[in-house]
Structure 1
Amino acid sequence: MNRLHALRHSLQHATTNEFRVACLCIVASLLLAVPCEAADEQPPNIVLMMCDDLGWGDTGFNGNTIIQTPNLDQLASEGVILDHFYSVGPVCSPTRASFLTGRHYYRMGVWTANQGHLPAEEYTLARMLHDQGYATGHFGKWHLGTLSRTMSSKGQKRRPDLHYSPPWERDYDTSFVTESAVCTWDPGIGPRSKNNPYFENGQPTHENVLGCDSRVLMDRAIPFIEDSVRQQKPFLSVIWFHAPHEDIQAGPEYLAKYKGHGEAAHYYGCITAVDDQVGRLREKLQELHVADNTLIFFCSDNGPEGGVPKDRSKTRRAGSAGEFSGRKRSVLDGGVRVPAFVHWPKHLPSEIRNETPTSVLDLLPTIAHLTNAKPHPQRQLDGENAWPIWKGEISQRSKPIPFRYGNFACLVSDGYKLIIESPQNTPKDRLFHLATDVKEQNNLADQHPDRVASMREEILSFLESSKQSHAGKEYDNASPPVDRWRGLGKK
């Protein structure tokens, strides 16, 4: 205030030239006074990593004592472990749609895995940062539409003529992706690769697609980062590992690390393979002298696969949801609460376990804040800027976190989760207090009717808003949706 008062006094006694100089001084003074959390000399680089079907309890930083994840553990310990982080989707494609847009996947018609696609009208992280001058790259799994107009993986579950939606037409400068899951070893061959090759910048490729899949994709991500640094451009690198999604196969060196663990050795080994590539990435960032100005985020797309494999000769699936109930395909926390951390020691505290609920919905608004970008004004965001939460400045979020899958819709708000199965009928409503009932076994709906009624109203309002989004109400000149709206319960 003293500085501004002095400038005001100078203006009152200034000549024309002096007035111009004083105005410039005021502008500079105000710019310096504006708080900017990412106030480096250049915009921050962003690396967003995600595993596929990695359970909350599958990493050392969340207490696993068998699976070796030293690089992830070190990054987590130097940053903020997001102890209550939600994928939002209990399966792959929905989470990925929300990850890139900050919007619930039902707004886009991405109902479940291998269904729907990322509409061209959506304002994604890649588009937002591309508009800010960033180099944008996507590596690994895509799962948000077909990569060809004539073929699709997974037995043609997506019609390629309706669901063509590749990353190179969604504002990525560089991409190296598969449409859906591949084997974690030798991804370029085998049943999973049928109609599902790696596409490199829009063209199918069979070059360097054998061996460890995590290494194969990092072999493409690192040159993208090197090239961005060489061009002195900030970069967004989205790296979506296939591991530990089936088909699970670990390479010989990783199997040797888990000798005596039977079939689980493959699961453990492919996670450690991911960890090695994360360590390799970190070393490269340090070598390029950009580590201090690079935010690294890591999570999983849903809980671990559950049950017994189709091949009954194999042991029960090895993934761990920790202490939580439910696994993949469940809206219970074991299906949607996943391991996560954010690492940027120059700006964030270290050795912190943050227990405030956050989710993939928060990534776009948070990164918008950090890069001074603006989300699309006509796109209803379901996430919020989580930067004050990550920094520990606040301990409560302002927006509830919505879920929708199969027969269920639910909401996490103010420490509670409400799960409903019908817009009108309430007997199956379930209300859980998450802090005191981590297994979600004690239904409190009858004890808190007012809370249930309020949260029910929020859920139904969210669903109606999503229905309008799905119909294209937020898009200019949008074509009709390719699939009908999927309501909740019987109308």
Structure 2
Amino acid sequence: MSAVMTLALMPGVTRGEAAERPNIVLMMCDDMGWGDTGFNGNAIIQTPELDALAREGTVLDHFYSVGPVCSPTRAAFLTGRHYFRMGVWSANQGHLPEQEFTLARMLKSNGYMTGHFGKWHLGTLSRTISAKGKRRRPDLHYAPPWERDYDASFVTESAVCTWDPGIGRRARNNPYYENGVPTDENVLGCDSRVLMDRAVPFIEQAVAREQPFLSVIWFHAPHEDIQAGPEYLARYEGHGEAAHYYGCITAVDDQIGRLRRKLDQLGVADNTLLFFCSDNGPEGQTPKDRSKTRRAGSAGDFSGRKRSVLDGGVRVPALVHWAGKVPAGVRLDVPLSVMDLLPTVAAITGTEPLPNRWLDGENVLPIWKGEQSKRQKAIPFRYGEFACLVRGTHKLIIESASDTSHDRLFDLSNDVTESNNLADQHPGLVGSMRKELLEFLESAKSSHAGEDYDGDHTKPVERWRSLSKAESSSLQSHTNFVR
């Protein structure tokens, strides 16, 4: 395997001070459905390591990726902000602006070593080539992790095959970049193992230097192209093509177990926070006979899949494990999202987010600990023709800023399939949530125009995408979305 670049302690940070702060490992799968893990009830897919984390930690039972596709979720994950603020409209669109205050920037300023491993999908890694060609122009959307405050990185621009990721159609113009340099070293076999081969040495080096670390590990599995190795196919003999999907998830699980054993061996397991989720719901529609397709993901009882703002497209498996700090064996039903990660990690590490910067997430550490049962902020969504808001147990979906005839309101506490529209029965609640949602959109529009970046006159690469031609431009109250 390749060596990780040599890194030094941040100026002004002593080794003793560094040891007091927890290490942060944030993991995410790609296109894994809510129902694809044992801890969420899957009886076929073997996920013993994730199930152990769930027993020893807290399952986030009502957790939203926010984006129903890859890139939007990733932008929100790293910034605590909705992806529309950055112009990351959909997969392979937009990029992570250099002005954004990210988890990596925040923790690097606090003495952490920072590393990112696996999928990136937040801009191109070259100024001249892109895996997606015209969909993401490299001259406009160059935004690699090594220029976004990561000390070490091993990443691809977009999806690769889950077996032999260094070759094949998805590897075309889409190689692994190691610390900014394309590499063909150790990029064959199981992709989850390939990327963990880089994450583990990074963690070893941080521990040797007695520096706290942030390690963001974004697995490609089980995104297409879905191919499991022989060892994993053998575990699912008799399941036909679905064995590839099941095997890819078990491969991820094995690597998470490998990571946990390494943390234990290094003596830092008890001082390391582990977080896991998926970036959106499962791909495609699965026929009754799952053995005939590799798109065998399960959204559980929820309606919708990837590319849908129904819960099956955005409610994903998630858990948090932090020995002695987060309760064991608990399932939380409070609505949470990837946008909560930055403000929560800020609270955990004693690091301040930027003042006067719109944040759509909130510090949910008291919820994780069981000290608080409700969140303060609603959770906004936006994709294609639809905008949504989750407030408590209710979810509102609208299609127009002015036409209310297609508004849908659901009570998620007793309608997980989102089949009973209550909009006509609760006009006051719809009006309140609609107003809050439109205020958010207006706030996001201002952010997209660059108004959050103090003293910076950078213009957005692409024009704002309105919900409808009638979208209001007069709403100015954004208080519900301010930190």
What TM-score results when the alignment is normalised by the length of structure 1? 0.90
Q: Kindly state the Cα deviation for residue 149 of structure 1 after the two structures are TM-superposed.
A: 0.1
1:154 aligns with 2:132: yes
Equivalent residue pairs, number: 451
Which consecutive segments of 4 or more residues in structure 1 shift more than 6 A?
none
Which of 302, 309, 314 pairs up with 1:324? Answer: 302
Contact 1:55 1:339 in 2 (8 A): yes
Q: Deviations over 1:145-193 (max 9, x none)?
A: 0000000012431000000000000000000000000000000000000
1:337-348 → structure 2 map (5 Å cutoff):
337-348=315-326
Letter in 1 for 2:75: A
Contact 1:88 1:359 in 2 (8 A): yes
The equivalent residue for 1:24 is none
Letter in 2 for 1:195: N
Contact 1:133 1:233 in 2 (8 A): yes
1:449 aligns with 2:436: no
The equivalent residue for 1:172 is 150
Partners of 1:244 and 1:414 in 2: CA distance: 31
Partners of 2:365 and 2:293 in 1: CA distance: 42
Partners of 1:330 and 1:228 in 2: CA distance: 40
Partners of 1:266 and 1:425 in 2: CA distance: 45
Letter in 1 for 2:80: G
The alignment partner of 1:76 has SS state of: helix
Contact 1:410 1:417 in 2 (8 A): yes
Moved more, 153-162 or 291-300: 153-162
1:479 aligns with 2:477: no
Q: Kindly state the Cα deviation for residue 100 of structure 1 after the two structures are TM-superposed.
A: 0.1
Partners of 1:101 and 1:298 in 2: CA distance: 17
1:358 aligns with 2:336: yes
Contact 2:243 2:294 in 1 (8 A): no
1:64 aligns with 2:53: no
Partners of 2:433 and 2:283 in 1: CA distance: 29
1:241 aligns with 2:219: yes
The equivalent residue for 1:373 is 351
1:200-215 → structure 2 map (5 Å cutoff):
200-215=178-193
Partners of 2:211 and 2:383 in 1: CA distance: 39
Partners of 1:426 and 1:301 in 2: CA distance: 30
Q: Kindly state the Cα deviation for residue 465 of structure 1 after the two structures are TM-superposed.
A: 0.2
Partners of 2:436 and 2:295 in 1: CA distance: 36
Unaligned runs of 5+ in 1: 1-38
Partners of 2:241 and 2:133 in 1: CA distance: 27
Q: Kindly state the Cα deviation for residue 317 of structure 1 after the two structures are TM-superposed.
A: 1.9
Partners of 1:249 and 1:469 in 2: CA distance: 40
Q: Kindly state the Cα deviation for residue 433 of structure 1 after the two structures are TM-superposed.
A: 0.2
Contact 1:137 1:237 in 2 (8 A): yes
Partners of 1:422 and 1:42 in 2: CA distance: 50
Which of 194, 204, 208 pairs up with 1:230? Answer: 208
The alignment-based identity, stated in percent, is 75
Unaligned runs of 5+ in 2: 1-16, 471-483
Q: Deviations over 1:423-466 (max 9, x none)?
A: 00000000000011000000000000000000000000000000
1:80-479 → structure 2 map (5 Å cutoff):
80-307=58-285, 315=293, 317-475=295-453, 476-479=455-458
Q: Kindly state the Cα deviation for residue 42 of structure 1 after the two structures are TM-superposed.
A: 1.1
What TM-score results when the alignment is normalised by the length of structure 2? 0.92
Contact 1:59 1:69 in 2 (8 A): yes
Letter in 2 for 1:432: F
Partners of 1:328 and 1:321 in 2: CA distance: 9
Partners of 1:175 and 1:378 in 2: CA distance: 30
Contact 1:248 1:270 in 2 (8 A): yes
CA distance 1:150–1:75, shift in 2 (3 Å): same
The equivalent residue for 2:30 is 52
Contact 1:40 1:293 in 2 (8 A): no
Letter in 1 for 2:461: V
Q: Kindly state the Cα deviation for residue 40 of structure 1 after the two structures are TM-superposed.
A: 9.8
Contact 2:244 2:294 in 1 (8 A): no
Partners of 1:176 and 1:348 in 2: CA distance: 30
Partners of 1:308 and 1:341 in 2: CA distance: 26
